[in-house]
């Protein structure tokens, strides 16, 4: 899985539409192999992003969990610590 795509489910505060769209963009970039589409592919690229964002939001709304919501700041701090250990920062 692409390391730039972050889990979005079961966080407090809940995920925003902007975060869902950013993750959808990363997914489309990964599977298409393009970081920026050509003019000929812009419409298909944008349509894919919007479609994946819409379906992702539906999924996140319909999921249920018995676990307590994760704290976003704690998750980010753990990710930074892992990155520091991995990359030596």
Residue at 62 is within a domain: yes
Share of the chain above pLDDT 70, in %: 94
Residue at 1 is within a domain: no
Residues in the chain where the model's pLDDT stays below 70: 1-4, 89
pTM value is 0.80
Residue at 70 is within a domain: yes
pLDDT of residue 37: 93
pLDDT of residue 83: 86
In angstroms, how far is CA 86 from the centroid of its own chain? 21
Residue at 6 is within a domain: no
What DSSP designation does 41 have? G
How many domains does the chain fold into? Answer: 1
Q: Which residues pair with 70 in a beta bridge?
A: 11
φ, ψ (nearest 5 deg) of residue 12: -125, 115
- Whose CA is closest to 31, among 17, 51, 45? 45
pLDDT of residue 57: 97
Q: Which residues pair with 12 in a beta bridge?
A: 71
Cα–Cα distance between 66 and 45 in angstroms, integer?
A: 36
Residue at 30 is within a domain: yes
């Amino acid at each position: 899985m692409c390391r730039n795509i972050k889990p979005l489910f079961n966080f407090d505060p809940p995920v925003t539409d902007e975060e869902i769209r950013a993750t959808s963009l990363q997914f489309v970039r990964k599977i298409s192999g393009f970081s920026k589409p050509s003019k000929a592919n812009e419409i298909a690229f944008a349509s894919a992003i919007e479609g994946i964002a819409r379906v992702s939001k539906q999924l996140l709304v319909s999921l249920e969990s018995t676990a307590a919501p994760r704290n976003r700041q704690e998750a980010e701090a753990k990710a930074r610590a892992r990155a520091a250990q991995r990359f030596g920062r």
